[in-house]
Amino acid sequence: MEDGIPFQIVSELLEGSVSEVIDAAHSSTSYLSHYEQLSIVLQMTSAIAYLHGLKPRPYVHADIRPTNVLVTRDMKVKVADLGAAHLVESSKSAGTLSRQYLAPERMPPTSGHSSLPSDVYSLGVSLIEIFTGVGPIPEERNGQLTLMINRRRLYRICLMMITDEDKIADRPTSAGCLATLIREVEELARSGVPAIKRMAKGQFVGEGAGRRHKVVLSDTYHP
């Protein structure tokens, strides 16, 4: 406790955020491999789906973005910064957060409460950034999506995740997003890519240094 505020000490070494991983990938000779992208988004989406599926009441994270997703040196992803998180039934607007990732229903003049669908929107923006390597500029989001058009399943799910305020009901649940990502991984695993096969079994660990970043990634785990 400090000044009446409780702090929690996390006893594992975290090597940086997904934002740092993206930046480091841009500074190297090539962007994140398809395996690396899927590994990050699958673990990230799984964590959000877990929060949303808590019983008897789900939790809303309320500030989902790559900066708040940490990565360990063995390529394990940890969703962090739940300071704005709250029970759905007592949800309140979380105040000033990262506007680039906020759902339209949470932006002025509406400034509505955070919710499961608004979390899905923020998750969708984050996934698009990870898949494309392009920053979350709302005015350029359609251009970002065109970079994904050849990945049909991923393109469709991300497009549905960032629907406008008048189509909130069309947004999938985080569990539905996770199911789509799992199908993508399973289909790639059937194609015989060893790294994807390991990921399909829930193995995300990398070994050796493959990029100019303190997160350890292995070239042997890249398709």
Per-residue pLDDT band at 45 (split at 50, 70, 90): very high
Q: What is the pLDDT of residue 94?
A: 46
Write down the catalytic residue from 63, 81, 164, 166. 63
Specify whether 219 is catalytic. Answer: no
Question: Cβ(14)–Cβ(70) under 8 Å?
Answer: yes
Q: What are phi and psi of 86, to 5 degrees?
A: -160, 165
Question: What radius of gyration do the chain's Cα atoms show?
Answer: 17
> Does the structure show a pLDDT above 50 at 146?
yes
Helices and strands: H and E segment counts in the chain: 7, 5
**Mean pLDDT (whole number) for 126-142:** 86
Q: What is the pLDDT of residue 13?
A: 52
Q: Where are the domains of the chain?
A: 14-221
Q: What is the pLDDT of residue 205?
A: 47
The structure tokens listed for 167 are 């189509």
Q: What is the pLDDT of residue 215?
A: 36
Higher pLDDT, 172 or 28: 172
CATH label, 14-221, candidates 1.10.1330.10, 3.90.1150.10, 3.40.50.2300, 1.10.510.10: 1.10.510.10
Per-residue pLDDT band at 97 (split at 50, 70, 90): low
Q: What is the pLDDT of residue 129?
A: 93
Per-residue pLDDT band at 173 (split at 50, 70, 90): very high
> What is the spatial distance between Cα 87 and Cα 52, in angstroms, rounded to a whole number?
10
Percent of the chain at pLDDT above 90? 29
> Does the structure show a pLDDT above 90 at 48?
yes
> What is the spatial distance between Cα 99 and Cα 187, in angstroms, rounded to a whole number?
35
Per-residue pLDDT band at 81 (split at 50, 70, 90): confident
Per-residue pLDDT band at 193 (split at 50, 70, 90): low
Q: What is the pLDDT of residue 209?
A: 31
> What is the spatial distance between Cα 122 and Cα 134, in angstroms, rounded to a whole number?
15
Per-residue pLDDT band at 207 (split at 50, 70, 90): very low
Per-residue pLDDT band at 123 (split at 50, 70, 90): very high
Q: Which residues of 64-97 are buried (b: 16+ CB within 10 A; e: fewer)?
A: bbbbbbbbbbebbbbbebeebbbebeebeebeeb
**ω into 109 cis (within 30 of 0):** yes
pTM for the full predicted model: 0.80
> Does the structure show a pLDDT above 50 at 1?
yes
Secondary structure element (H or E) that encloses residue 71, with its range: strand 69-72
Residue 11 CB partners (closer than 8 Å, separation 6+): none
Q: What is the pLDDT of residue 24?
A: 82
Half-sphere exposure (Cβ direction) of 73: Cα atoms closer than 13 Å: 7
Relative to beta strand 69-72, strand 14-17 is antiparallel
Q: What is the pLDDT of residue 17?
A: 87
